[in-house]
Amino acid sequence: MYSIRTQSRVPYTRYESFIRGPIPIGWLVDVSKLGATVLEISLSLWYLQSKKGGPFKASLNELADIFGRSEQTARRAISSLQRGGYISVLKRVGEKSQFSIRTENYQIDE
């Protein structure tokens, strides 16, 4: 296992974190067309949703830190994902933003 921030070897533990699915591959393919950084932030969203359940509350720093990105980069990526209709964001003054990943346009085969 590698740390994304440092690209150095990190010892594997049985408490390793994983993204739980299902994640529609069509959703990932479409988001990847928005750029690599947007894809990274979208994977951060999926990861936090798998940990917290969805819809979930998170700060931009939480999203950015997973892949070692800045808060400004996360803000731009979230904006791109919202414009594309891939996520919904509910913002309230003084609270963390609430994120919902929108997959209703994608078929999930089981």
Return per-residue pLDDT of the chain as tens, 110 residues: 444 555 555 555 556 678 888 899 999 999 999 999 999 999 999 999 998 888 899 999 999 999 999 999 999 999 999 999 999 999 989 899 999 999 988 876 66
pLDDT score, position 105? 85
Residue 97 contacts residue 91 (beta carbons within 8 Å): yes
Domain boundaries, the chain: 25-101
Residue 66 contacts residue 44 (beta carbons within 8 Å): yes
pLDDT score, position 88? 95
- Identify whether 11 is preceded by a cis peptide bond (ω within 30 of 0): no
pLDDT score, position 96? 92
pLDDT score, position 3? 44
Helices 36-52 and 25-32, interaxial angle, to 10°? Answer: 140
pLDDT score, position 1? 41
Q: What is the distance between the alpha carbons of residues 110 and 97, in angstroms, rounded to a whole number?
A: 31
Query: Fold for domain 25-101?
Result: Arc Repressor Mutant, subunit A (1.10.10)
